[in-house]
Structure formats: structure tokens, C-alpha cells
Amino acid sequence: MVAVTATDTHRTIDAVWRMESAKLIAGLTRIVQDVGLAEDLAQDALLAALERWPETGIPDKPGAWLMATAKHRAIDHLRRGKMLDRKHVEVGHELELRQEAAAGEIDAAIEDDIGDDLLRLMFMACHPVLATEARVALTLRLLGGLTTAEIARAFLASEATIAQRIVRAKRTLAEAHVAFEVPHGPELDARLSSVLGVLYLVFNEGYSATAGDDWIRPQLCEEALRLGRILAGLAPGEPEVHGLVALMEIQASRLRARLGSSGEPVLLLEQDRGRWDRVLIQRGLAALERAGELTSSPGPYAVQAAIAACHARARTPEETDWGRIAELYQDLMRLTPSPVVELNRAVAVGMAHGPAAGLEIVERLGSEPALGDYHLLPAVRADLLNKLGRMDEARLEYERAAALTRNLRERELLLGRAAASTAPR
């Protein structure tokens, strides 16, 4: 044991919790078959650490200490009969008659196959029985180790709202008897899609915040990427897992360059590419190559990663292969047709074949109901009009985009562009 101050101890406990909580909750869920109860038991172990470590010092293996403490609470809970339903009668009886043997079994259950347990916990937290918002909150809580307050700040919601969302999610999982397992067959594809979708949403919210005063929220990007890397290690044969990790690695490489000195947004073509993280880019390109080795028919995440790779490989904006990017967006439209994808294709077409060609696509999207309140539609139209010298029209579109966005930094950027769009005299 090493004696430290109370402040240092609390800081260490916080760090250990972030690293170990997911494994702890996963192992406990396998035993008690209730993710809500598992989290409660893990929190009990955390409280015990907060009480004891300032006095006794930090254990040499703090994660193992938390695991052992939580395990004993699980045993006590089972012994008291609170889990003695049909699934646990045999375990409870064994605990009464042969405590040491049962404790050994629980030791093995928690300590063995922890990777499998983490994978099961991911599939449980992202189960389609939950609404998307609930999946996101529960995943960040159970697998990301974020507090309710941190999740609330990230998504500009009240702590009470997030807390209720998490409680209801755990209740829904229990009432639906969602199994702590990795699904098989056709269900695996559907459930894996849900897991990837949650990580994608979390990353995107961090990469380009939909509302609030901040343009980016790096913590969300970091959590999504960390969980994606874990998932890739646990499911190494799934090409779309590697595709999503590749996409997040490459996008995350630009985070430092996406902000100016005062926190203002810096768009892709204006970024200092010397600030891009080349290590993350190389990791992303390697993950993309791995996805390609696993399938000859890349999925949506791998295609998006390939688009990001085109930007990452270009040392200057002028070197960007916009023709290839336009082709990849066409591929993405075949896989996941949507007006948003088509809008992105319009940008690429405009860069590859001229603003008039891009504007032609944008004009066709003007009647799309799904884009009625989407601020990037007028923003893209404004950029293309600006390049065509139609400045007055561009200014109006920038102003319309600024009125639609809920992000303060983005609104300032768009209004600045509107002010700069003056008709030539």
C-alpha cells in the first residue's frame, strides 16, 4: 500500500473506475443476470473504496480490489435470498451449504472470459428494445464509465432526464428478460448494427455538436473510439466493426485542427493539416485495410472510412481526389439511401465537376421533407452559390442556415460567411 492524500485518492479512484467499471459490471451481470443490480453492486464497491482507501492507502491492484469487494457483495446478496428465483435456487442453496465452493465458482465466473462478458454487456446495453436515446445513455454509463452529470452535459439535457432515462432502460431490460449473451445467426447482424449505430451516434455528437456553445466535444469522441477499439478486439471477424473504427480513428485525427485559437470552427479545407494526428490516421488506414481483407463488399461504415481516407491521404486540399469521393458517396447511396448522403455527394460533385453540377443535385433536394429543418442544406447551397458568384443569394442562404442551427459556434461561422458574401460591384 502507498499512502496518499485524500484528493489524490479520489482522483485515483475516479481513474480506476473509468478503466475497470465496465469489466466489473459485465462480470457481475453474468452472475446476477440483472444489469441494474450489477451496477448497484459495483457502485457499492466504489463507495467502499471511497471510505477505505483514504485511510488504508491505494491497493497495489485497485481493479482487483474492487472486483473482490463487488464479488463478496454479490455472494451476500445471493445468500440473503434476494435473487432466489427459479434461476438462482440452486446457486443459493449451494451458497448456504458450500460457501467456499460457491465463492470459488463466482471467482471463476467473474474473472474468466472477461472479454466475452464485455461483449455481452455491449449487446445488452444497445438492445433494440430500448429507444436510441436510452441505448446511448446506458452505453456511456455502463461501458464508458461516465457519470450521469457528464452524459447530461454532453447532450445538453438535465441530470434528472438522463437519470430517468438510465433507470427506465435498466427496468425495460429486466422486464423484457433480455439475456446476457451474444446473439447468433440473423439476430447477430441486427444487434451488431444497433451497437455500431450507438457508437456512431456518440462519436458524431462529439465530432460536431448539434447544439450548445461548443463546436466539438472531444470526450464523446474518445469514449466512442475507445469502445469501438474494444469491440474490434472482441469481434475481430466483423468487417463493419473495423470499418467504423477506421472511420472514427481518421475523423478523430482532425480534432485538434477543427478549432481555432478562440474555439471557433475551422472547416476541413481551411484546416492546418500539419495538426492532424498522423498516428491516428495510420491506425485508421490499418483498420480500413483489415475491413477490406474480411469482405469484398464493404458496408456503410467502411465506405465512409474510405471517404475519410481520401482526405487523410491528401497532404493539401488541392491533392484531394474529389472524383473518387463522389464515387464513394454514390456507393453509400446504394447501401444507405438518404437525402443527407445525397447532400454530401453534391458537395463532392461540386468539388470534382464544378459548383454548377453540385448545385443541380442540391436543387433537387430542396423539396425533401427530411431536410426541411436541416441547416446544412442551405449552408451547402450557399457555398455553391458563392462559388458561382451569386453573392446575394448566397448571403440569404447562409442566414437561413444560421437561423436553423442550434450550435452557437456554427451560427457565428455562418453569419460571418453571410456578412462576407457581398455582390461584386
Q: Which amino acid is at 346?
A: A
Q: What is the mean pLDDT of residues 9-35?
A: 85
Categorize the per-residue pLDDT at 9 as very low, low, confident or very high, splitting at 50, 70 and 90. Answer: confident
| 338-425: CATH superfamily | Tetratricopeptide repeat domain (1.25.40.10)
The pLDDT score that the predictor gives to residue 425 is 46
Measuring CA to CA, which residue among 348, 407, 346 is closest to residue 375?
407
The pTM score is: 0.83
81 pLDDT more than 80:
no
As a whole number of angstroms, the distance between CA 157 and CA 104 comes to 43
Identify whether the C-beta of residue 206 lies closer than 8 Å to the C-beta of residue 219. yes
Categorize the per-residue pLDDT at 95 as very low, low, confident or very high, splitting at 50, 70 and 90. Answer: very low
The pLDDT score that the predictor gives to residue 331 is 98
Side-chain-facing half-sphere of 420: CA atoms under 13 Å: 10
Q: Which amino acid is at 388?
A: L
As a whole number of angstroms, the distance between CA 404 and CA 8 comes to 45
As a whole number of angstroms, the distance between CA 394 and CA 405 comes to 17
How would DSSP label each residue in 369-394? GGGTT-THHHHHHHHHHHHTT-HHHH
Residue 422 or 44, more confident: 44
Return all residues near 76 (Cβ < 8 A) that are at least 6 apart. none
Categorize the per-residue pLDDT at 310 as very low, low, confident or very high, splitting at 50, 70 and 90. Answer: very high
Q: What is the CA radius of gyration of the chain?
A: 25
Q: Which amino acid is at 119?
A: L
| Window from 7-11, 100-104, 194-198, 239-243 with minimum mean pLDDT | 100-104
186 pLDDT more than 90:
no
Domain range summary for the chain, segments of one domain joined by +: 1-112, 338-425
